[in-house]
Amino acid sequence: MDKTLENLFTHLKEKGQLKQDVYDNTLSAFGLLKSTAEELATKYHEMEIDSLGRVPFEFHDRGGFEFEIRFGGDILLFMMHTNVFELPRDHELFKTTYLKEDKSRSYCGIINIYNFLGDSFKYNRLNDLGYLIGRIFINKDKHYYLEGKRELGLLYNNFESDLFDQPHIQQIMQSAIEYTINFDLLTPPYQAVQQITVYDIRATLDNMQLKTGKRLGFKFQADTKEVD
């Protein structure tokens, strides 16, 4: 009985330590992302790219697990999940030697990157859509894997060797911003907006019930591959 309990408690300790290590690495990585975003906002103003101040680039800290950068008419929202996840057994990364050698490397923390329209928050349009453009997985070795839209995901997917260090963080941040700049708001099909209720039209602009999203009602070949 004592041996069984000892094995149980040992397993509990080992799994708990593993998850704590992953959490600590993810929290540290999130802090580096946050400081990099803040530095980019500072550099934008120092370089005086927009002397008239019409195109902002701003950093906003929203607490320990969330921050955002606002540029042009867009918001990139970075959110760290506080839990640790194991990659599913059918994930392509389990085909790599890296995970075959040590299964515990498949436990990861996750940082999600969402794109929203700036006006969605400015005017409190609660029905507007945001898009998950990428998510960063970080494990106990501080290795990372970025999964997302092809413009991002194909660039940073060498889990076996990529460390989440400052050069990679800078590249990820710049790629996410570049992707968002090129991810334009498109006019929805006429059929999708040809009807409106009395309730909608009488609602205040601050809480407009008409849903807005960059790809609302559209299906494009370039967007058929969603975040996996």
The pLDDT, as a whole number, for residue 150 is 65
Q: Where residue 193 falls among pLDDT bands split at 50, 70, 90?
A: low
* Residue 58 is assigned to a structural domain of this protein: yes
Check residue 204 and give its pLDDT. Answer: 46
In this model, does residue 123 exceed pLDDT 80? yes
pTM: 0.82
Q: Shortest CA distance to 186 belongs to which of 212, 225, 224?
A: 212
For residue 225, the model assigns a pLDDT of 43
Q: Indicate whether 202 belongs to any domain.
A: no
Output the pLDDT for position 154.
Answer: 54
Considering its fold, how many domains does the chain have in total? 1
Q: What is the pLDDT of residue 2?
A: 85
Cα separations in angstroms, 146 against 141, 155, 166, 224, 228: 15, 8, 15, 18, 11
- pLDDT value at position 190? 74
Coil, strand or helix: which one is 145?
strand
Asked if residue 152 belongs to a domain, the reply is yes
Q: Is residue 194 part of a domain?
A: no
Residue 227: predicted pLDDT: 43
* Calpha distance 22→105 (Å, rounded): 9
Mean pLDDT of 16-22: 98
pLDDT in tens, 55-77: 999 999 999 999 999 998 999 99
Q: Is residue 41 domain-resident?
A: yes
Residue 172 lies in a domain: yes
**Residue 34 domain boundaries:** 2-184
**pLDDT for 219 beyond 90:** no
Is 224 within the bounds of a domain? Answer: no
Range in 88-92, 175-179, 186-190 with the lowest mean pLDDT: 186-190
Whether residue 199 is contained in a domain is answered as no
| pLDDT band for position 213 (cuts 50, 70, 90) | low
Three-state SS annotation for 48-88: CCCCCCCCCEEEEECCCCEEEEEECCEEEEEEECCCCEECC
**Strand positions, DSSP E, the chain:** 57-61, 66-71, 74-80, 85-86, 107-117, 131-138, 144-148
Task: State the burial class of residue 73 (Cβ atoms within 10 Å of its Cβ: 0-12, 13-18, 19+).
Answer: middle
Task: State residue 202's pLDDT score.
Answer: 65
**pLDDT tens digits along 85-120:** 999 999 989 999 999 999 999 999 999 999 999 998
Q: What is the pLDDT of residue 207?
A: 52
